[in-house]
Each structure stands twice: as C-alpha cells, then as structure tokens.
Amino acid sequence: MSTFIRNTRHRPISRFFVPLFVASLLVASPAVAGCKGDVAVQILGSGGPIANSSRASSGYLVWIKGEARLLVDAGGGTFARFGEAGAHVDSLDAILLTHLHVDHSVELPAYLKSAWFSDRKRNLQLVGPSASGAFPAIDDFLNALIGPTQGAYRYLSGYLTDGAGYFPLKTRTVAHDSDKPVIVLDNDELRVSAIGVRHGPVPALGYLVESGGHKIAFSGDQNGNNPAFAKMIESADVLIMDHAIPEKADRIAANLHARPSEIAKLATDAKVGRLVLSHIMPRSESQLKASQSLISATYTGPIIVAEDMMCIDLERILKPHDHSSQ
C-alpha cells in the first residue's frame, strides 16, 4: 500500500479527489512522524492572505534525505509549522520567495532571527523577483528589513555586513519579466530554476526543483498565462498550484490568479504527474468540489487538495503503470 501522501499532524486527509484507478493508492498513513523521505515536499501553509483556523499562508519545504533543504515562501503561520515539521534553518540551501505579497513573505525575519541561534557558517541564498510598481526587488526588500541604517530590524544587519555570529545571506534577483528560466541553485543534490509568472501587476516567480530524478514545480501566485512556465515545468512529478479563485471569479481576481479551467490547461499542457491545489481561500474552498470536477474534465492525472503539514514523498509516488504490481 502506498503511503506517499501523509499528513504529519495525524489528521485524516479528508478532501482529495483522484481518478478511481489511482484512488486506492493514495492512502494517508495515520502515524508517521515527520516528512523525511529521500525527496519529499511538505505543505507548511495551504492558505492565502485571510486568517484561517487550519490553513497558514503560503509556505513549502523540500526535504532531501531527511533534511529540509529549501523553503519556498514564508507566509504568516509558516514559521510555527516549520518548527512543527522538525525543520532547521541550518540545513537550508536557499529560501525561495515567489513574490513579496504579505502572505508569502511576512515571516522572513522570524526565520532569520531563528537562524542566529544556530552554528551555521555557510551562505544562505535568498531568491526573489525584480522590482515593479509598489514592489521592491528582493535585495531592496531585504535591506528594508535588516539593512544597517534604515532596516526595520537593523539589529539583524550582521547578515549583510558579516557581523560576528552571523552567516552571510546572499540575495539572488530574478527578472520577473523574462520568459527564460534561470538556474538559481545547482549542487550535487539540488537544481532549482526560476521564471517570471503573471500575477497581475505583481512581480512574481515560479520555481522548478529537481533532485534525484524527481521534479517538483511551484506555481507561486499566477494567472496561468505564461506558456514559458508550463514549458519549464514539463513532466514534473508534482505541480503545487495556486488555487485561489472559483471559475466565476471577477476579472480583477482572474488577472491575479488562475481559474480552475486555466489550472487544468496548465497542468495538461505541462503534462504534470500530479496536481496539488493549494493557496486555498474561502472563495475557492466553497466551490472546491465543482472546481475539482471542472479540472478533472481536462486534466486526467490525480488531483490532491493541500492541507497544512501534508507530506508528499516523491520516492513513493507510483507511476500509473506501476499500480498493477501493488
């Protein structure tokens, strides 16, 4: 029996929909501590910007061989989930921010303060988009937080000035308006690509993480209208997708986020193995069943509704052709 998707808070995974032929393979294991497969992704926050009793704002962890190596987004509530997951900032190679909306970035200083108490010496990379309109570039954003003269938390400026007891924090700015993927991290175990995605007027990025022959794609917030993102993530094992609006959303919301029909098209065009619906807000949660049906009319792979602390173990994902042997 497959246990590749599990909720590490020991709550049953109650809301997911999959085609019948794989339904029997997607079983939550009721008592698994941690999310520590060889290659796994954990949902720290499956919600959006509205306070919610069970969904923190956006945040995800990529685990490699039992260590948390990447944090994708740092929305409100994710810092507590990060601790709950048993993760440590020491083991992170990078923090990847999709964009600088509050629900994706507000807890960054909390992670930095926490890291001060570690023995870490090596660099930590912080990746984010270039500037546009009301949004600064990632390096200016970091300066506004911890810059030595004007930073709100300038008592943490040692990260930028090689202060005693601090490790270097290096920013990497990715042009949000470029349709060419940029490799932002490449080491023995991880390769991360970033590309601009369309989130209304907000500069935003999507990411592809590759490790051990597996591919995990993060949409960030986007309206689905950049074919270059679909191309970059082609054949990903898992796409974690922004699902913030129902099909009948108004024009302004649909300029920011993808409608279910657009999610279906993106997942189909990109030929992703599994679709995880996340960034769920009350307006999308209330229409979840209808949206899942609409998506599954086009996209024929398994659809999973994200929950906080859910762990998706890439090593245990079964290819459709494998299920006959189970």
Residues near Zn ion, by CB under 5 A: 103, 221
For Zn ion, give the closer residue by CB, 221 or 313. Answer: 221
Cβ contact 214:108 at 8 Å: no
Q: Which residue's CB is nearer to Zn ion, number 93 or number 103?
A: 103
Pairing of strands 124-129, 169-174: parallel
Give, as one character, the DSSP assignment of residue 135: B
Q: In the complex, what is the shortest distance from the CB of residue 95 to Zn ion, in angstroms, rounded to a whole number?
A: 16
How far does Cα 310 stand from its chain's mean position? Answer: 12
Say how far apart CA 45 and CA 52 lie, in whole Å: 10
Output 103 or 237, the one with its CB closest to Zn ion: 103
- Tell me how far, at minimum, the Cβ of 47 lies from Zn ion, in Å: 9
* Between 103 and 285, CB nearer to Zn ion: 103
For the CB of residue 58, give the shortest distance to Zn ion in the complex, in Å: 6
* Between 37 and 75, CB nearer to Zn ion: 75
Is 111 in a helix, a strand, or coil?
helix
- What is the rounded distance in angstroms from the CA atom of residue 275 to the CA atom of residue 98? 18
Q: Compute the least distance from the CB of residue 30 to Zn ion, in Å.
A: 31
Least spacing, CB of residue 105 vs Zn ion, in Å: 10
Whether the CB-CB separation of 245 and 222 falls below 8 Å is answered with no
Q: How far is the CB of 103 from Zn ion (least distance, A)?
A: 4
Instruction: Report yes or no: 99 and 257 within 8 Å, Cβ to Cβ.
Output: no
CB 126 within 8 A of CB 95: yes
Measuring CA to CA, which residue among 100, 108, 103 is closest to residue 82?
108
- Which residues, at least 6 apart from 265, have a Cβ–Cβ distance to it below 8 Å? 224, 298
Query: Which residue, 57 or 157, has its beta carbon nearer to Zn ion?
Result: 57
